[in-house]
Amino acid sequence: MTKLQSVARPKTPDNLQYEPVIIKQTQAMTASFQILILGYGEMGHAMEYLLKDHHQLAIWNKFPNAGFSSAVIEESAPHADIVLFCLPVNPHQEVVQQIAPLLKKTCLCVSIAKGLDETGKTAAQIFAQNLAENQPYALLYGPMISEEIRTGRYAFGQLGCRDLAAFQTMEACFCHTKLYITHTFDITGISWSVILKNVYAMAFGMADELKLGDNVRGYLAVAALQELSQIVRTLGGQVDSPYHLAGLGDLITTATSESSHHHELGRKLARDETQDISGEGPHTLKMINQYQLFNTQNFHLFQLINAIVRNPHEVSLKFDDYLGRIYERQCKN
């Protein structure tokens, strides 16, 4: 039976407007792919769990544990229909340059990395600069906690890619799983939405540790989304991208879960604990500061988080000052 699904298609070259387009899902959805998974950490394990029953998998890990037989990239890459980058952003450039000459022209490279490398580049930028000109690539972001995936729970992702064929491939790839994916053409928008949500998620951990209450948490959610939207627009993305799965969806997951790494980082910072403050969020702040990737002057919540991470002392006073300035601006208006 044929199912119909609506996704977004740009009306203009700059992707500023959308109209629905219908994609037919036919028996091709039952296709089996040869998939190379790069990285065997938490998300590598999660992807294996989702895909092992319906596709042919090869799994590569740079530093395999005892008892794990890693695939050889030079042998597996030429046969891959899909390459899943379940790696941090930092090794992307090295690995992409290694496999790019080996790939079939139709092979789709997909990254789930949510951060910036040591030069301040996103995974999308690394793909664009190092893959062959017409090599298809995509980014998959959203509320996809690996532990929940591996226990058979539902997960949701947003696939950013430049053509619908790539989306159809990934939809067919996951059609037998509990990972539901939607599509967007706004690669820049979802890249920065998911990168910056790790920064904003730390503020929720701080507020929870300081017991500022649910009202403040509600305000932080609105403030974070407003700033995300403005920053994304500044960087060339669409203002509504942060309000979908890669932005709002992943922000809620990361900002409210007690098992979230960045929520716990926020709690540590509020307790004046300065050891082991590491992760994509602090690293993102470091790269933005180092390379001045955008002007942070008008983004007050971002500036608060940045100031606390750089000098994690008197966090309660800094929050009081931030919240007090909100009322000052209100009175001035």
Q: Do residue 117 and residue 241 come from a single domain?
A: no
Find the mean pLDDT for residues 277-293: 96
- The pLDDT, as a whole number, for residue 5 is 44
HEC readout, 59-88: EECCCCCCCCCCCCHHHHHHHCCEEEECCC
Q: Do residue 228 and residue 149 come from a single domain?
A: no
**DSSP readout, 120-165?**
S--HHHHHHHHS-TT--EEEEESS--HHHHHTT--EEEEEEESSHH
For 73, the token pair is: 């990239």
Q: Across-strand partners of 219?
A: none
Question: What predicted TM-score, i.e. pTM, was given to this entire model?
Answer: 0.89
- Decide which of 136, 153, 185 is a domain's last residue: 185
Q: Do residue 175 and residue 194 come from a single domain?
A: no
Q: Do residue 12 and residue 114 come from a single domain?
A: yes
Q: Do residue 120 and residue 223 come from a single domain?
A: no
Q: Read off the pLDDT band of 258 (50, 70, 90).
A: confident
- Decide which of 121, 153, 185 is a domain's last residue: 185
22/33 Cα distance (integer angstroms): 24
Q: Do residue 28 and residue 80 come from a single domain?
A: yes
Average pLDDT, rounded, for the chain? 90
Selected residue with higher pLDDT from 258 and 166? 166
Q: Do residue 241 and residue 274 come from a single domain?
A: yes
- Decide which of 134, 160, 185 is a domain's last residue: 185
For 203, the token pair is: 């503020």
Q: Do residue 157 and residue 265 come from a single domain?
A: no
Query: Can you give the CATH number for the domain in which 318 is found?
Result: 1.10.1040.10
Largest CA distance in the chain: 66
- Ranking 18-27, 86-95, 225-234, 293-302 by mean pLDDT, the lowest is 18-27
Q: Tally the domains of the chain.
A: 2
Q: What are φ and ψ of residue 76, in 5° steps?
A: -90, -35
Tens of pLDDT, residues 11-62: 433 444 433 333 334 445 568 999 999 999 999 999 999 999 999 999 999 9
Q: Do residue 30 and residue 82 come from a single domain?
A: yes
Q: What share of the chain is helix, strand, coil (3-state, %, to 5)?
A: 50, 15, 35
Query: Can you give the CATH number for the domain in which 28 is found?
Result: 3.40.50.720
Q: Do residue 80 and residue 193 come from a single domain?
A: no
Q: Do residue 202 and residue 254 come from a single domain?
A: yes
Instruction: Domain of residue 201: give its range.
Output: 189-332
- The pLDDT, as a whole number, for residue 29 is 57
Tens of pLDDT, residues 68-100: 889 999 999 999 999 999 999 999 999 999 999
160/193 Cα distance (integer angstroms): 12
Q: Do residue 274 and residue 324 come from a single domain?
A: yes
